[in-house]
Structure formats: C-alpha cells, structure tokens
C-alpha cells in the first residue's frame, strides 16, 4: 500500500466527523470547544495534504501551507476569545454545561 492523498483526506474526514460528533454529543462547553478545535485541525490536515500532493517541481504550491499558517493564527485568537467567553459565562452562571445555559431564548 502506498499512502496517497485519499488516505490523508480520509483521516481528515474522520477527524472532522469525530469533532462534529463531539459537538453533538457533549454538553460541556469546554469539551465542545475542544471538539471544534479538532474540526479545525482536520481542515488543516486536508489543506496540507492537498498542497503537498498538488505541487509540482515547477510550481510549488504554497497556498495551502500559507492558509494553514493563517488558520493556526486565527485559531489561537479564537481559542483565546472563546475561553474568555467561557470564563465570563462561568463567572455568571457557575456552570459550563450547555444545557443550563439557555439564555439565548430570552
């Protein structure tokens, strides 16, 4: 077996599915957030794999890699802000359970 693009893509798909599964399953905000991160990293893997397999000696395809860099930077922002929001929520409600935070309704 040689490892081709499709294998990496499948790993990426699985990772994404697991992340989504976690978002559906769990009600703990923190864990949900972690699963979101998993989904994000799945996309990173796919991007790198595409970039690697599509580049040719004459035309090194950097776009995927650079996009990954930006994604990582943005992910850092997102985590910082998200965790700050979670902390604020926790201060307010003393809980991180999504089932108990349903103020969106009001």
Partner 1 sequence: MDLGTVLCMILLAPLVSAGLIWMFARQRAVLAMTLSLGAAGIILLCSLWLFFGKWDGTSFEITTEWMALGNLHLNVGFLLNELSALMLFIVAFVGFWIHLFSVGYMHDDDARGRFFGGMSIFMFSMLGIVLADNLFMMFIFWELVGFSSYMLIGHYLTSDVAAQASKKAFIVNRVGDFGFLVGIIITYWTFGTVNLTELREVVEANPESVTTMIGLLLFCGVLGKSAQMPLHVWLPDAMAGPTPVSALIHAATMVAAGVYFLGRSFFLFTEQALHVVAWVGVVTAVCAAIWAFGQRDIKKILAYSTLSQLGYMVAGFGLGSLYGLHHGDGHTALYYGIGASMFHLTTHAFFKALLFLGSGSVIHACHHEQDIFKMGGLLKKMPFTGVTFGLGVIAIAGIPFISAGFFSKDAILYVAKATNTPAFIILAGTALLTALYMGRLFVITFLGKPNSEAAEHAKESSWTIVLPLVVLAVFSIGGGYMALYPYAIREVMANWVPQPHGTDHTLMIGISAVASLLGLVLALIIYGVGSKTDKLETTLPLVYAISKSRFYFDEVYGYYVKKVQDRLAAIVDFLDTLLISGVMVRGAAAVAGLLGIAARRMHTGSVATYVWWFFAGLVLFGAYAGGFLDGIIR
Partner 2 sequence: MKEIFFLIFAVLTILTALCVPLSRKPVNAAMNMLVSFVGLAALFVLLETYFLAVLQVMVYAGAIVVLFLFIIMLMDANQSPPPKLVRFLASFAALALLAVGGYYLVFGCGSGPYPEISAAAPAALSRTFGVELFTKYLLPFQMTGFMLLIAMVGVIVVSRKHEPETTGGEK
Give contact residues for partner 1 (rule: CB under 8 A).
20, 23-24, 27, 32, 98-99, 101-106
| Site residues (CB under 8 A) for partner 2, limited to 14-33 | 14-22, 24-28, 30-31, 33
Q: How far apart are CA 66 and CA 48, in angstroms?
A: 9
CB of 54 to partner 2, least distance (A): 6
- Is residue 79 a contact partner of residue 34, using CB atoms and an 8 Å limit? no
CB of 52 to partner 1, least distance (A): 26
**Pattern 45-84, partner 2, x by CB under 8 A:** x--xx-xxxxxxx--xxx-xxx-xxx-xxxxxxxxxx-xx
The one of partner 2, partner 1, none whose footprint includes residue 3, by CB under 5 to 8 A per kind, is partner 2
User: In 3D, which of 50, 33, 55, 42 has the Cα closest to residue 13?
Assistant: 42
User: In 3D, which of 75, 78, 54 has the Cα closest to residue 64?
Assistant: 54
How many residues are given for the chain?
A: 106
């Amino acid at each position: 077996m040689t490892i081709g693009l499709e294998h990496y893509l499948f790993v990426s798909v699985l990772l994404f599915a697991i992340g989504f599964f976690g978002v559906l399953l769990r009600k703990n905000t923190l864990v949900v957030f972690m699963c979101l991160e998993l989904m994000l990293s799945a996309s990173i893997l796919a991007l790198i794999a595409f970039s690697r397999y599509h580049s040719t000696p004459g035309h090194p395809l950097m776009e995927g890699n650079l996009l990954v860099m930006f994604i990582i930077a943005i992910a850092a922002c997102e985590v910082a802000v998200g965790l700050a929001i979670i902390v604020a929520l926790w201060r307010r409600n003393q809980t991180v359970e999504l089932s108990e935070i349903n103020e969106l309704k009001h």
